[in-house]
Structure 1
């Protein structure tokens, strides 16, 4: 692990504390999705929309979304932090402020944004703060990064509805970060569709078993 004497896994670094990063990506992103066959990088075809989610280790999280009908492509990366164009090792140091994120490119005529929110909430425990199960660190925090006022409203409405059913099931407060999307920095090639390339690979994704109410958010969010 890089910078063990400086590691922050209990709080987010300030912009002044964060690693400086680099002006350009440290590695290219090319090729097509290993399962869906569509390009990973944009620009994407007209009529598609983009959604970004953080729900723990992005290997298993990405698979949940590429298995969802109506999703055109997915890719994993780093989002919500300060350091431009970080590497995986830098993100894991806790000194970039990023969380592991999945970018979902979808056809809203086939799968509404509300349905993606349902997948998101039910695929992890959003009450755990800076961890997901045994994975601990700020890079595993729960997050929704939105691309329109409609997505922001839908995410907040779904959070409030899910909070009610989680609380009734004995869970605490949702700690999910919901805010407009900032830069999405793609992860290294070997992380993309990792569980397709490594079927026996680690998957730390696991939900609460509590169903998110259907129809808790508007179907828009293009």
Structure 2
């Protein structure tokens, strides 16, 4: 996945690609598996969280299979370039990481359980990479939309960190930021049509999920 273009340091806002005012491609309206709206509106009570755990193809598939998930989408977030393309994101000059939007019903899928799955589906100690996927666009992140989600992200990180250390892993490098506000991750930009539900469209496609195998206890 464009490994020759990887970047191992974050781009600064001044050196980020300028982007554009709108999508340069079409974004599908409907989830190819769940049949739900990709961008809403969703049922009352639905919450949205944005999770980055390496290549978004495998990550999105893991998320759409969870009970209580209303919809998922692949996209770019956490950087500086508005409405980036995949090719631009792969250069490391957008500052974005490959991210999965997860809209879910917290009465069916509690936020702590969703986050427990997030932690155990990848290695959150690797910095700007997941396995052989290298670059700032593969960094681990949790971008929250409510105070409760943010608190749950911090709490689950605190209980998971000692478990990882006990099994020989380093410190967690996952970004935890709200979407909005000063220092926030900023808007979620939907990826191109062919990325959405990619492993449904290409069942034998590239599917990297880099779990450590270390269980995450609930706080």
TM-score by length of 2: 0.94
Q: Give a deviation string over 1:68-125, Cα, whole Å, max 9, x none.
A: 0000110010000000000000000000000000000001110011111011000000
What SS does the aligned partner of 1:91 have? helix
RMSD, aligned CA: 1.4
Q: Which residue of 2 aligns with 1:80?
A: 78
Gaps of 5+ in 2: 180-185
Counterpart pick for 2:196 among 192, 195, 211: 192
What SS does the aligned partner of 1:166 have? helix
Gaps of 5+ in 1: 217-222
Q: Which residue of 2 aligns with 1:68?
A: 66
Conserved in 1, the CA contact under 8 Å of 2:34 and 2:71?
A: yes
Q: Give a deviation string over 1:16-50, Cα, whole Å, max 9, x none.
A: 00000001112222332111111111222211110
TM-score by length of 1: 0.92
Residue 8 of structure 1, CA deviation: 5.8
What SS does the aligned partner of 1:178 have? strand
Q: Which residue of 1 aligns with 2:147?
A: 149
- Does 2:101 align with 1:107? no
Counterpart pick for 1:174 among 172, 175, 200: 172
Counterpart pick for 1:49 among 40, 47, 50: 47
Structure-2 separation of matches of 1:16 and 1:98: 14
Conserved in 1, the CA contact under 8 Å of 2:6 and 2:90?
A: no
Structure-2 separation of matches of 1:18 and 1:8: 15
Over 4 Å off, 4+ runs = none
Q: Which residue of 1 aligns with 2:182?
A: none
Counterpart pick for 1:212 among 207, 212, 216: 216
Q: Which residue of 1 aligns with 2:183?
A: none
Residues matched between the structures, number: 212
